[in-house]
Amino acid sequence: MPVLNAHLQHRPASAEDLHEVVRFPQDADELFFAYPKASWPLTVGQLAAAMAERRGSTVALLDGKVAGFANFYQWQHGDSCALGNMMVAPWARGQGVARYLIEAMEHQARTQYKAKVMKVSCFNANAGGLLLYTHLGYQPRAIVERQAQDGRRVALVQMDKPLMD
C-alpha cells in the first residue's frame, strides 16, 4: 500500500485528466524521459493513444489537484509489470508525489496483476529519476543503447524491484 499522506490520493486516470497531464513535461527532454515515442509538445491525442494501448493509467492527486500520472507499458499476469509515462506536475515536484505514485503502481501491480517484479527504465540524463528509483529499492539490471530524437546516443538504465506481499 502507498505510504499514507493526508494530502495525497490516487485514482484511475480519466479522459478529462489528460488536458492537465499534457502540461506536466516542461521541455522536450522531460517528455523524452516520460514518453520517448511522443513528439514535443505532448498532446491530448498522443497521451490518449498511450492510455489506449497501456494498462493501469493512474493519477496522483495532491490536495485534490491532478499532480502525477503513470501507467504500465508491459504487464504479464503472475510475473511483472513495467512502469511507464511517469510524470509529475512542475508545481508538485519535491512533495512526495512521484514516490507515492510509484508505490501506488507497485500495489496495483501486486494486487491486479499478481506481479512479483516491477520494472522501470530510466534514461542516463534523468538523474532525479535514477536517484529516486534506487532510493525506492530498484536495482539496475541492464543498460541498453537508445537514440534520442535528435540522433544522440543515450543509455537506458533498466531496473527492477521484487514486489513483496
HEC-encoded secondary structure of 85-108: EEEECHHHCCCCHHHHHHHHHHHH
- Average pLDDT of the segment spanning 22-29: 97
pLDDT digits (tens, 9 = 90+) for 80-120: 999 999 999 999 999 999 999 999 999 999 999 999 999 99
20 secondary structure, DSSP code: H
- Write b or e for each residue in 4-16: b if 16 or more Cβ atoms lie within 10 A of its Cβ, otherwise e: eeeebbbeebeee
Domains in the chain: ranges and CATH: 8-162 (3.40.630.30)
pTM, two decimal places = 0.95
Q: How confident is the model at residue 5 (pLDDT cuts 50, 70, 90)?
A: confident
The reported pLDDT for the residue numbered 149 is: 86
C-alpha to C-alpha distance for 63 and 95, rounded to whole angstroms: 11
Q: Is the pLDDT score of 4 beyond 90?
A: no
HEC-encoded secondary structure of 107-149: HHHHHHHCCCEEEEEEECCCHHHHHHHHHCCCEEEEEEEEECC
Q: How confident is the model at residue 6 (pLDDT cuts 50, 70, 90)?
A: confident
Say how far residue 162 (Cα) sits from the centre of its chain. 17
Q: Which residue has the cell 540522433?
A: 151
